[in-house]
Every structure is written in structure tokens, then in C-alpha cells.
Amino acid sequence: MDQKRILLIVGGGVAAYKALELTRLLRKAGVAVRPILTAAGAQFVTPLSLSALAEDKVYSELFSLTDEAEMGHIELSRSADLVVVAPATADLMAKAANGLANDLASTALLATDKPVLMAPAMNVRMWQAAATRRNLSALMADGVRFVGPDEGAMACGEFGPGRLAEPPAILEAILALLAGGARPLAGRRAIVTAGPTVEAIDPVRMLTNRSSGKQGYAIAGALAALGAEVTLVSGPTALAAPAGVQRIDVESARDMLAACEAALPAEIAVCVAAVADWRPAEAGGRKIKKGAKAPDAIALVENPDILDALSKSRRRPHLVVGFAAETNDLDANAKAKLARKGCDWIVANDVSVAGTMGGDDNAVAIVTKAGVERWERLPKGEVARRLAQRIADEFA
Ligand code: CTP
């Protein structure tokens, strides 16, 4: 990492003390750190501590004659390989999302031509506020990368997402971005749906299907291995969540859709789940008794289509990938599905081949508007790795 250089913007929040530890870790890793300390940040850590650990001067003023003479703020904003904002407060995110430039930190963020990584830290309600969600979406769309926030107890006494990611995790995200290529999806968020859904007929009976979740879990793991921050929304399976993946357990299609919407914004969505197309119209709270005669029928109503909903969402991920399980006319059916659901790619697999559902191998074709790309029969793990790499190439 020698000669790599970051511009570290330290915003104002209790978590600013962790920026000191981050600086120490970065220096230990051989990365040069040039700090900008905001006025609010200086309420929490001193310029002297930051400067001592960074072994560099701390910049704070936009209109400092001496600083401007040595290094103008535009030059400062471009003097590093990467700009890191830690902690990124709600205020700094709002400024950057809207292009405000009324202090040195926001000016540097607007003027830089380098990649930006933000590590947000704020109260849970501030993080969940509609305005912050909007700003987060806008920043992601602008290509800003994110690490964290973590969930946990906060200095303000509340609990939830909003804690600054731990310095080693921020360091890892920084090193991945500086290394480039090795973790090309670092800072990107992905939603993966996997497994079957379960639709209740009554409190003890259900409609479900044979999906094992293997392909979806493998894709979630492969995206995480390339650095993506993955939320795996999973129906009931016998599988453990892959390392570094956040799993959300759901049962019904409606729960799965709600969990996916709650995980937005994200830049990538891969819908692998075998979602039940229909659910019983009435799933009463009482068990249906056997009685003298079998029920004539179970009335069904249509479930929401999650792939369709994500593709047409106001907060649509940049890349939406669906799967198509087909037994016949694979290409034609997949192309029709692509158009109907409005997604970007369909990974079509032929489930008429024995052993695909629940098995360890998969023969797929990637269907895009540009055409059909057929892959040989591969283990599901390899299909996942190739697909994750193809997704990373899309963002390169
Ligand atoms: N899908 C979904 N929500 C549904 C149904 C399907 O998100 N309610 C997604 C699946 O995860 C998959 C894709 O849509 O990515 C295609 O699923 P498939 O069952 O092949 O297609 P259907 O829409 O059910 O169409 P058909 O049964 O006519 O093939």
C-alpha cells in the first residue's frame, strides 16, 4: 500500500474518536492520511491528536490564507487516491448529496475527482429518516461507496442501525478500494432473494415448493466475497447464511416483498427465490377440521411479484437480475419474462433436467436485451461466482 494516499474527512459525532483509531490502522498499513477536520468534528477530537496520528497537517479552514498558499482546496480534494468520510454525519451526507459547498469538507467532496467512501454514523432515527434515505439513494446513484453503519447500542441510549462501522471494517473497505479489482463490489449493496416461500392454508398446513435455496445462497456468498454488502432475504431452508451476509428470514411472498423493500436502496437485486405465485385466499386463524368430506377446493389469490416490483420500484436498483425456471422453450420464455417483468438480466435454467431443483449443479443461460449467453453445466457455486463476477464487470 506504499504511496497510496487517502483524504480523511472527519465529521462531527461521538464516533469521531474512532477516526483516530482508523488513522492509526491506515498508517500501520502504509497508507498516507491527509485529514480534514470539520468544525463539528473538532468538538469531538482535537486537531493535535489527528495530526499526530496522521503524521500530517490537519486542514479545517476553507478560507485560510496560509493553507491556500500551500495547497488550495481544489488541489487538496484531488491530492489523494480515495476520499474517506468517517464518521459521515447526516449533515455531511445531505451536503454531499445536494452539492453544497459551504465549508472545506463539503467543498472537497464536491471538487474531488476521486472515488468517495462514506462510513455513516448517526442516531437511528436520523439514519431512518426519509431525508437521509433520499440522500443515501442519491449518493449511491452518484457512485459513492458505503461501509456500515452497524447496528447496536448508541451513545444516545437508543438501539438500531447507525453506529459507525468498526475501524478494521472501514480499513478493509479502504484497502479493497485502493487495491481495486480484488473486491470490486466493495461499498455496493445487494439484495438476494432465495429459497421457497411458504403460504399458510391454516395454522398447521401450507403451500410451498421444492426450492433448496442453494443457488441463491451461493450467489449471496459470491457477491459478498467480491465486497458487496448483501442482504439475503430467505424463505425457510436448511442452509447457514454465507459469511459476511445479513440474512432476513421470511415465510410468505408478502413478507419477502416487505423485507426486500426495507432493504432498499441497493444497487443490485438478484431474485432467485421460488416465490409461490398464489396463496390461499383465506388462511384463517383456526385449523380446518377433517370433517366428513374433503373441502371442494382451496381458493387461491395471486401473490405480489417481487422481481416485478423491484424492477418497477421508484428506488429501482441499478441492476435487477431474475431467474426463470422453465421446462420448455427456455429462450423464448426467458425473453418474454425479461420484457414483462422489466428486469435487466434473466438467468434461465432448465428445470426439466433431473436434479436441478435441490441438486448441486445448474445449466443456465444469461438472457439480456442483447442476446442469450449459454453456460455449460456447472456446480451452483461456480454459477454463483461467474454471475457475481459478471455483475462486478457491469459496475466496473
Ligand atoms: N418471482 C418473484 N415473485 C413472484 C414470482 C416470481 O420475485 N411472485 C421471481 C423469481 O424469483 C424469479 C422470476 O421471478 O427470479 C421468475 O420466476 P418464475 O417462477 O420462473 O416465473 P413466473 O413469473 O412464475 O412465470 P411462469 O410461472 O409463467 O414461468
Mind listing the pLDDT tens digit for each residue in 68-91?
776 788 888 888 999 999 999 999
Q: What is the predicted pLDDT for the residue at 143?
A: 85
Q: Are 4 and 32 in contact (CB under 8 A)?
A: yes
Q: pLDDT tens, position by position, for the chain (396 residues)?
A: 457 999 999 999 999 999 999 999 999 888 999 999 999 999 999 999 999 999 999 999 887 777 777 678 888 888 899 999 999 999 999 999 999 999 999 999 999 999 999 999 999 999 999 999 999 989 988 888 888 888 888 777 888 889 998 898 888 788 878 877 568 898 899 999 999 999 999 999 999 998 999 999 989 988 988 889 999 999 999 887 876 789 999 999 999 999 999 999 999 999 999 999 999 998 878 888 888 888 889 999 999 999 999 999 999 999 999 999 888 898 899 999 999 999 999 999 888 777 666 677 888 999 999 999 999 888 788 899 899 999 999 998
265 alpha-carbon distance from chain centroid: 8
Distance, first Cα to last Cα, the chain: 21
Q: Which residues contact 174 (CB under 8 A, 6 or more apart)?
A: 6, 26, 31, 82, 84, 117
Query: What are 271-315's pLDDT values in tens digits?
Result: 999 999 999 998 878 888 888 888 889 999 999 999 999 999 999
- Dihedral sign, CA of 88, 89, 90, 94? negative
Q: Please tell me the distance from the alpha carbon of residue 21 to that of residue 241, in angstroms, as a whole number.
A: 30
Instruction: Say yes or no: CB of residue 146 within 6 Å of ligand 1.
Output: no
Q: Are 363 and 353 in contact (CB under 8 A)?
A: yes
Q: What is the predicted pLDDT for the residue at 357?
A: 67
Q: Which residues contact 93 (CB under 8 A, 6 or more apart)?
A: 118, 120, 132, 135, 136, 139
Q: What is the predicted pLDDT for the residue at 148?
A: 81
Q: Are 233 and 191 in contact (CB under 8 A)?
A: yes
**H runs (alpha helix) in 155-252:** 167-179, 214-225
Q: What is the predicted pLDDT for the residue at 99?
A: 97
Pairing of strands 229-234, 189-194: parallel
**CATH topology assigned to domain 5-179:** Rossmann fold (3.40.50)
Backbone angles phi, psi at 354, to 5 degrees: -60, 140
Instruction: Say yes or no: CB of residue 219 within 6 Å of ligand 1.
Output: no
Ligand 1 center from residue 263 Cα (angstroms): 20
Instruction: Say yes or no: CB of residue 273 within 6 Å of ligand 1.
Output: yes
Q: Please tell me the distance from the alpha carbon of residue 217 to that of residue 234, in angstroms, as a whole number.
A: 9
For the annotated catalytic residues, the residue numbers are 156
- Residue range(s) in the chain whose domain bears CATH number 3.40.50.10300: 189-395
Q: Please tell me the distance from the alpha carbon of residue 66 to that of residue 155, in angstroms, as a whole number.
A: 37
Burial class (CB in 10 A: 0-12, 13-18, 19+), 289: exposed
In angstroms, how far apart are the furthest CA atoms of the chain?
Answer: 93
Residue where the block lists cell 416483498: 257
Residue where the block lists cell 451461493: 218
Closest CA to 84 of 7, 187, 189: 7
Q: Please tell me the distance from the alpha carbon of residue 269 to that of residue 376, in angstroms, as a whole number.
A: 24
Backbone angles phi, psi at 282, to 5 degrees: -130, 115
> Around Cβ 334, how many Cβ atoms within 10 Å?
25
- Residue range(s) in the chain whose domain bears CATH number 3.40.50.1950: 5-179
Residue nearest to atom 27 of ligand 1 (CA): 277
Q: Residue 194 gets which letter from DSSP?
A: E
In this prediction the pTM is: 0.62
- Grid cell locating 39: 468544525
Instruction: Say yes or no: CB of residue 170 within 6 Å of ligand 1.
Output: no
Q: Which CATH architecture has domain 189-395?
A: 3-Layer(aba) Sandwich (3.40)
Ligand 1 center from residue 285 Cα (angstroms): 28
Ligand 1 center from residue 48 Cα (angstroms): 58
Q: Are 224 and 277 in contact (CB under 8 A)?
A: no
